[in-house]
Chain A
């Protein structure tokens, strides 16, 4: 009995050790925030200390093996929001590294999110929210998304939402729209006070955006 516990325990310790190892070895923490405690430091890449709340594991694995551009203007830290010059592509990792990194990242959580409905939007509702996304709220001014013809459209100061449906967890999107301060002390996106119905519809709309739909 005792030995079993010891074995399991050291196994856990070992794997925790190996995990920490790869993150350190690859130096993810030199650009990304991995712990909520590092709130003071200024980072040059998006926060990952809540990666397990935000991303879909399948997308994460794919991204680490074969990175795609999410912020066409780069990750902007300077207050002037100036034009970012040369954007270097993200490092890519092997299948095995990507698997391990994904497991580690999916364990990084800061909140428990309320479940949301994944019921797809009816065609009419989708058209309505698309219209609001572009006009009432002007989301398109800062975010790329897909137009009716399946072409990429929109501003670049915010992360691209073209592949949001594969990339983000619906619960996280709803959480972000409801209270972004939970994840970011001070962002550059305007606050929107959406009623629960609108919020749910926006979340479901964003989850329909997938890069397979680019024409």
Chain B
């Protein structure tokens, strides 16, 4: 029961902290983004994302799914971009991406923007893509920004 309450509090907090994708003022907080616990539980213990290889498959996956928002070159200018209230992140900008760890990027892709305190317009891909491909997407984004976590 207390667990439940914590969960709820967490969810409400997340909800308040994040910007909406599409402004709507009602705050029915029945949402269920992944909780911190769930997130940490599901992340593989030994992530070692620096070992993930960027392959042709990685690039194709990015082109197939991510470009609809992030754009073909990852500049944040996909066809949905101008309809979103929070712009898709520009994956070529080192300045911001240096401030995010690989684990944070992994989480954002797997569980969606909400899970890392970012906007919900970044959907969760954890039911679509497996961990290995998500790891390699993180590395691909590192290639795009030519940057590492500081």
Query: Do A and B originate from a single complex?
Result: yes
Main secondary structure of the interface of B (DSSP, over half): loop
Instruction: List CB contacts (< 8 Å) of B18-67 with chain A.
Output: 20-22, 24, 26, 28, 30-33, 60, 63-65, 67
Question: Judging by beta carbons under 8 Å apart, are A136 and B31 in contact?
Answer: yes
Q: CA of A160 to CA of B35 in the docked complex: distance in angstroms?
A: 31
> What residues of B have a CB within 8 angstroms of the CB of A117 in the complex?
none
The 0/1 profile, CB within 8 Å of B marked 1, for residues 132-160 of chain A is 10111110111000011000011111000
Q: CA of A82 to CA of B81 in the docked complex: distance in angstroms?
A: 12
Main secondary structure of the interface of A (DSSP, over half): loop
Q: Which of A83, A128, A138, A191 touches B128 (beta carbons < 8 Å)?
A: A191
Q: CA of A142 to CA of B70 in the docked complex: distance in angstroms?
A: 12
> What residues of B have a CB within 8 angstroms of the CB of A191 in the complex?
127-128
**Residue A196 CB within 8 A of the other chain:** no
Q: CA of A137 to CA of B30 in the docked complex: distance in angstroms?
A: 12
Question: Judging by beta carbons under 8 Å apart, are B22 and A128 in contact?
Answer: no
> What residues of A have a CB within 8 angstroms of the CB of B120 in the complex?
134-138
Question: Judging by beta carbons under 8 Å apart, are B30 and A81 in contact?
Answer: no
Question: Judging by beta carbons under 8 Å apart, are A132 and B125 in contact?
Answer: no
**Residue B141 CB within 8 A of the other chain:** no
Question: Judging by beta carbons under 8 Å apart, are B80 and A141 in contact?
Answer: yes
Q: How many residues of B contact A (CB 8 A)?
A: 35
Residue of B nearest to A132 (CB): B31
Q: Which of B28, B69, B123, B125 touches A131 (beta carbons < 8 Å)?
A: B28
Question: Judging by beta carbons under 8 Å apart, are A138 and B112 in contact?
Answer: yes
- Counting chain B CB atoms within 10 Å of each CB, the highest count among A128, A135, A154, A193 belongs to A135
> What residues of A have a CB within 8 angstroms of the CB of B92 in the complex?
none
Residue of B nearest to A154 (CB): B83
Q: Which of A81, A132, A190, A193 touches B78 (beta carbons < 8 Å)?
A: A81
Question: Judging by beta carbons under 8 Å apart, are A141 and B128 in contact?
Answer: no
Looking at the assembled complex, report how far the CB atom of B114 sits from the nearest CB atom of chain A, in whole angstroms: 7
**Residue A61 CB within 8 A of the other chain:** no
Looking at the assembled complex, report how far the CB atom of A169 sits from the nearest CB atom of chain B, in whole angstroms: 24
Instruction: List CB contacts (< 8 Å) of B108-134 with chain A.
Output: 112-114, 120-125, 127-128
Question: Judging by beta carbons under 8 Å apart, are B79 and A138 in contact?
Answer: no
Residue positions of A touching B, CB distance < 8 A? 73, 79-84, 124, 127-128, 130-132, 134-138, 140-142, 147-148, 153-157, 186, 188, 190-193
